[in-house]
Amino acid sequence: MMNIEPAAHIKSITEYYFSVKLAEVARMNAEGKNVISLAVGAPDSMPSPETIDTLCETARRADVHAYQPYTGIPELRKAYGDWYRRIYNVALAQEEVLPLIGSKEGILHISMTFLNIGDGVLVPNPGYPTYKSVSNMLRANVIEYDLLENEGWQPDFAALEKMDLTRVKLMWVNYPNMPTGANASVGLFEKLIAFGKKHQIIICHDNPYSFILNDQPMSILSLPGAKEICIELNSLSKSHNMSGWRMGMLASNPQFVQWVLKAKSNIDSGQFKPMQLATVAALSNSSEWHAAMNGIYAERRKWAEKIMDLLECHYDKQQVGLFVWGKLKDEAPDSEAVVNDLLHNARVFITPGSIFGSNGTCFIRISLGSSIEKMKEAYERILEYKN
């Protein structure tokens, strides 16, 4: 065989956990085992009727099938700005908004824009694995910072100040937090902005969960001076039941946005115009539509908590977002062993906290993206297995 190998940065990362594990679940289902998945954070409900109607109606037009602007159509940028003003009390000019093919892709765009080889990136532990894997692919220096239960899953700024921050360019933060469900606060955002300005570190705030089981959606950009040092990612995947649509955005000062656009415009060719127009409709969803979705999630959360109780886990009832995060009892094995045990013996798939970092090893995560009927059945399967 030819002596061909992948690049060093590909060798430094692993295939995404869910890419591997969902393939295993699919094989089990093909064998007739009918696994119930409470793992992936994907809503199972439809977008609003107005969103679907707009997509279908505009897709029939002859003038919408060409390439679109790299900055998104003006109607979409305006709609994102109106949404931020209405929900977060943040004024965004059109040049401060950049539509994205999902906020996950935005993590790559931002990282490519600001990181040289060897630059430092502050990544939360536990945290979304993509922050770390993208940094590794770009050969940046990943510097983990701890999020701990006894600190409310918030950064320890005294510990951060003791680190060597000389070449650190970016800091990834995410509130409401995934996976822990810890909520945002004005005080936390003020500390992050001050830290970023002091050390000239761009604070990258990933904000896709602020609508779900959360009475007060917040944006870090609502605080004075935030745009000078912060970039915020947002997404309609969770909040508007549009995960497969890959509709997201970033917002910041015009200079940061223009620099990110340089990277983005060399990677993709824009988004299908009917999807952009449908997103404009989605951004005008009524408060009643969102309240109805939260009512569904609140009922599902009760069953997720019942499963946590059955597994003798400790969890914070004040969590927000699309998941319930629970700590395994002291004598339990690590989370991945627990998850594999439940998958193969109870045919229920949940997420091990270990995939989010070493500080998640003793935790598990249950998604609220499955129906109450499935959650009830998952509970009964686990109960039967334990007995």
Q: Distances in Å between the alpha carbon of 32 and those of 3, 35, 38, 40?
A: 41, 9, 18, 21
Q: Which domains does the chain have, with CATH numbers?
A: 8-46+287-386 (3.90.1150.10), 66-282 (3.40.640.10)
How far apart are the C-alpha atoms of 82 and 53, rounded to whole Å? 21
DSSP 8-state symbol, 115: P
CB 147 within 8 A of CB 125: yes
Residue 207 phi/psi, 5-degree rounding, is -130, 55
Provide the terminal-to-terminal Cα distance of the chain, rounded to the nearest Å.
53
Per-residue pLDDT at 194 exceeds 90:
yes
Q: Given this model, what pLDDT does residue 300 score?
A: 97
DSSP 164-187: --TTEEEEEE-SS-TTT-PPP-HH
Helix-then-strand count for the chain, H and E: 13, 13
The residues that bridge with 171 in the sheet, in sequence order, are 122, 203
What's the pLDDT tens digit per position in 96-106?
A: 999 999 888 99
Question: Is residue 10 pLDDT above 60, yes or no?
Answer: yes
Look-up of token digits 């002859």: 62
**Statement: residue 331 has pLDDT above 80:** no
pLDDT at 264 (0 to 100): 94
Return the pLDDT at 161: 97
pLDDT surpassing 60 at residue 1:
no
- What is the pTM (predicted TM-score) of this model? 0.93
Give the count of beta carbons closer than 10 Å to the beta carbon of residue 316: 16
